Amino acid sequence: MKKARLAGLVVLALIVAEAGRHANAWMSREAAVPVPNAPAAMHAVHAGRDQPYRGDLVLIDGAHPVREAGRQTDIIRLFDHPELRNGYGLANTAIALSKRAADKWQLLADAAREDGIDRFFIMSGYRNDAEQARLYEEKGSLYELPPGFGEHSLGLSFDVGSAAAEMNRAPEGRWLSKHAWEYGFILRYPQEKTAVTGIRFEPWHLRYVGMPHSALMHRYGWTLEEYLEALKQRKSMSTAMDGVEYEVTYYAASAAGDTAIRVPAAGAYMVSGDNRGGIIVTIQTRTATGA
| CA–CA separation, 260 and 282 (whole Å) | 15
The C-alpha angle with vertex 225 and arms to 170 and 182, in degrees rounded to 5, equals: 45
DSSP 8-state class, residue 173: H
The C-alpha angle with vertex 117 and arms to 207 and 165, in degrees rounded to 5, equals: 80
The window from 5-13, 50-58, 132-140, 197-205 that contacts Zn ion (CB under 5 A) reads 197-205
Assign 3-state DSSP to the chain and report helix, strand, coil percentages, each to 5.
35, 25, 45
| CA–CA separation, 289 and 291 (whole Å) | 6
Provide, rounded to whole angstroms, the least separation between the CB of residue 201 and Zn ion. 12
- Nearest CB to Zn ion, comparing residues 24 and 124: 124
Provide, rounded to whole angstroms, the least separation between the CB of residue 38 and Zn ion. 42
Residue of 18, 131, 182, 202 marked active site: 202
Provide, rounded to whole angstroms, the least separation between the CB of residue 15 and Zn ion. 28
- Nearest CB to Zn ion, comparing residues 28 and 132: 132
- Nearest CB to Zn ion, comparing residues 52 and 125: 125
Total residues at interface with Zn ion (CB under 5 A): 2
Provide, rounded to whole angstroms, the least separation between the CB of residue 152 and Zn ion. 6
- CA atoms 72, 73, 77, 78: torsion sign: negative
Positions in 150-179 near Zn ion (CB under 5 A): 159
Q: Which of 54, 100, 127, 205 binds Zn ion (CB under 5 A)?
A: 205
- Nearest CB to Zn ion, comparing residues 136 and 232: 136
202 flagged as catalytic: yes
Centroid of chain to Cα 159 = 15
**Largest Cα–Cα separation, the chain:** 61
For 285, the enclosing helix (H) or strand (E) is strand 278-286
**Pairing relation of β-strands 89-90 and 120-124?**
parallel
Is 245 near Zn ion (CB under 5 A)?
A: no
Provide, rounded to whole angstroms, the least separation between the CB of residue 193 and Zn ion. 15
- Nearest CB to Zn ion, comparing residues 85 and 152: 152
The set of residues, in sequence order, having a beta carbon less than 8 Å from that of 156 and lying 6+ positions away, is: 56, 72, 97, 98, 101, 207, 208, 209
The window from 21-29, 46-54, 167-175, 204-212 that contacts Zn ion (CB under 5 A) reads 204-212
For 233, the enclosing helix (H) or strand (E) is helix 224-234
Name the residue with the smallest CB distance to Zn ion. 205
Q: List interacting residues with Zn ion (CB under 5 A).
A: 159, 205
Residues that are catalytic: 202
